[in-house]
């Protein structure tokens, strides 16, 4: 019996069908997916390690021009970061704090703009 399904295979198919129906239920109930991302939203400020990574990546590429592995760069950077003392990490921490302050400022300006638009609508209702 070439191509015929055994009884065990038929049971497996029904189990799969039941699982797929369960996966469709949330969509059928009217639940919506994630909201779209705002393209104007500023990127989150990098941590001190990522500030360090930006500089280290350039240095690593100069020393190892043939190495194209992202994992190798990350591993080498992690090992180097762990070996740095607090005083050696201080410039990266300071730069990260500065970038974080700028990010928070730009983020609050965006929120202020949203609040201003909402207050205009409220003023129109009062008139």
- Identify whether the C-beta of residue 59 lies closer than 8 Å to the C-beta of residue 10: no
Q: What is the pTM of this model?
A: 0.56
* Among the listed residues 101, 107, 99, the one whose alpha carbon sits nearest the alpha carbon of residue 46: 99
72-to-1, 59, 67, 96 alpha-carbon distances in Å: 53, 13, 8, 24
pLDDT per position as a tens digit, 72-103: 999 999 999 999 999 999 999 999 999 999 88
Structure tokens at 79: 């090992």
Q: How confident is the model at residue 14 (pLDDT cuts 50, 70, 90)?
A: low
pLDDT of residue 127: 46
Mean pLDDT of 91-116: 82
pLDDT of residue 113: 65
pLDDT per position as a tens digit, 15-69: 555 555 545 555 455 567 777 887 877 788 889 999 999 999 999 999 998 888 8
Domain boundaries, the chain: 43-127
Domain 43-127 in this protein, CATH class: mainly alpha
pLDDT of residue 108: 79
């Amino acid at each position: 019996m070439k191509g015929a399904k055994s009884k065990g295979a038929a049971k497996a198919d029904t189990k799969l069908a039941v699982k797929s129906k369960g996966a469709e239920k949330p969509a059928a109930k009217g639940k919506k997916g994630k909201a779209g991302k705002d393209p104007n939203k500023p990127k989150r400020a990098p941590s001190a390690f990522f500030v360090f990574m930006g500089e280290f990546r350039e240095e690593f590429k100069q020393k190892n021009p043939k190495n194209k592995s992202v994992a190798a760069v990350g591993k080498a950077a992690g090992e180097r970061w762990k070996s740095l003392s607090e005083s050696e990490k201080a410039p990266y921490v300071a730069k990260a704090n500065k970038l974080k302050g700028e990010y928070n400022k730009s983020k609050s300006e965006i929120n202020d703009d949203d609040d201003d638009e909402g207050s205009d609508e409220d003023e129109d209702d009062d008139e």
